Amino acid sequence: MQDSSPETASLFSDPVEPGSEVRAARPAPTLAGLAAALPERLWLGTSSWHYPGWAGLVWDKLYSEEQLSRRGLDAYARHPLFRAVGLDRGFYRPLSVQQYAEYAAQVPQHFRFVVKAPARVTDAQVRGAGGQGLTVNPDFLNADIAWRDFAQPASIGLANKLGALVFQISPLPGHWLGETARLIEHLHALLRGIADRTTGAATLAVEVRDPQWLTPAFVAALKDTGATYCLGLHAKMPPISEQLPVLRALWPGPLVCRWNLNLKHGAFGYERARDQYSPFNRMVDPDPDTRAGLARVIAGTVGAGQPAYVTLSNKAEGSSPLSAVALAEAVTTLLRQR
């Protein structure tokens, strides 16, 4: 695995001047060989790229979060293993075609984006600044808004660099959990409205945060519209083994996976994980069991000629660049054995 020690000095060096170019770290010699051993159909990356603590791992030195957010994507894409990235910025406010196009211009042709749909169509509630639900969201699962504010601009702006459009359905209010049959009908209509208007090779995926969604009707809605299930590794969802039946029911098909959170932190542990893992430069809570399970799913998917889009969060094990190295090693080992 890549050594995480070089960034220690970098984190205490002076930040570069605002407006300077963000430069990539010199990769460990083993990473080029590891990247070459990965299958072309695997697009592996992190859930975002604006973390100063990756100095020495991804960046050559310490940069501010603002610098990385604005100028770091080109350097991120130079990491040998990173062929994809999660783009969640539009979850809070829709992005324009021009904004998507500016992202696409910063990465090479083989690179792919995994783009998260806006909360306006994926959250059943309108939420306050603290995340508390305030009122029912009248635009929840609205197909026309999903197309206008998300799928259309992303498809145009990112063009062939769009890997997956992900509708991550936020946790439902407790009294709605018994109404998933009705909600699946609305989701089905949304997916049909997007699928009928989307062209190109982008994968349409749905991630949920309540296991009550995982029913035969849910699988049927995905299958009918050519969508897939986004394997969501998060404490609110069952482990991989209990989510696999959904993927098997949709087989053969692509894999979209977002490893969001270490299961030990519980259903609402983002803040706790952030505080414990920051500055995200080392593996704080390695989870070899989840990593091994994910590696098996990836190897099976790409081994059957299907694409796999996998993004990793810092909150999974402490440092998503190091998680990516460990996962890549696990995948290549399985593929050699097969």
Q: How many CB atoms lie within 10 A of CB 257?
A: 27
DSSP state of 44: E
Does an H or E element contain 74, and which?
Answer: helix 73-76
Strand partners, 257: 231, 310
Helix (H, G, I), strand (E, B) or coil at 311: strand
Token pair 């997916």 in the structure block, residue:
191
CA 173 to chain centre: 24
Domain ranges of the chain: 7-337
Which of 71-80, 156-165, 260-269 has the weakest average pLDDT? 260-269
SS3 string, 84-152, reads EEEECHHHCCCCCHHHHHHHHCCCCCCCEEEEECCHHHHCCEEECCCCCEEEECCCCCCHHHHHHHHHH
**Residue 267 has what pLDDT?**
54
With 0.85 as the threshold, say if the pTM is over it. yes
- pLDDT tens readout for residues 185-241: 999 999 999 999 987 789 999 999 999 999 999 999 999 999 999 999 998 899 999
Q: Is the pLDDT of residue 15 over 50?
A: no
Nearest alpha carbon to residue 222 among 167, 173, 151: 167
- pLDDT tens readout for residues 266-290: 655 778 888 899 999 999 999 999 9
**Residue 322 has what pLDDT?**
98
5: confidence class by pLDDT, cuts 50, 70, 90: very low
- pLDDT tens readout for residues 152-176: 999 999 999 999 999 999 999 999 9
102: confidence class by pLDDT, cuts 50, 70, 90: very high
331: confidence class by pLDDT, cuts 50, 70, 90: very high
**Residue 198 has what pLDDT?**
82
Nearest alpha carbon to residue 27 among 49, 53, 6, 51: 6
**Residue 11 has what pLDDT?**
37
Q: Phi and psi for 136 in degrees, rounded to 5? A: -70, 135
- pLDDT tens readout for residues 117-130: 999 999 999 988 87
| Distance between CA atoms of residues 273 and 284, nearest Å | 10
**Residue 265 has what pLDDT?**
67
8: confidence class by pLDDT, cuts 50, 70, 90: very low
The stretch 79-95 carries a mean pLDDT of 96
| Distance between CA atoms of residues 328 and 308, nearest Å | 13
CATH architecture of 7-337: Alpha-Beta Barrel (3.20)
**Residue 105 has what pLDDT?**
98
Q: Are 68 and 59 in contact (CB under 8 A)?
A: yes
Both structure tokens of 6: 């070089």
Task: Please give the C-alpha separations between residue 3 and each of 9, 44, 46, 285, 290, in angstroms, as whole numbers.
Answer: 13, 19, 18, 16, 22
Q: Is the pLDDT of residue 2 over 50?
A: no
DSSP state of 182: H
Q: Mean pLDDT score of the chain, rounded to an integer? A: 91
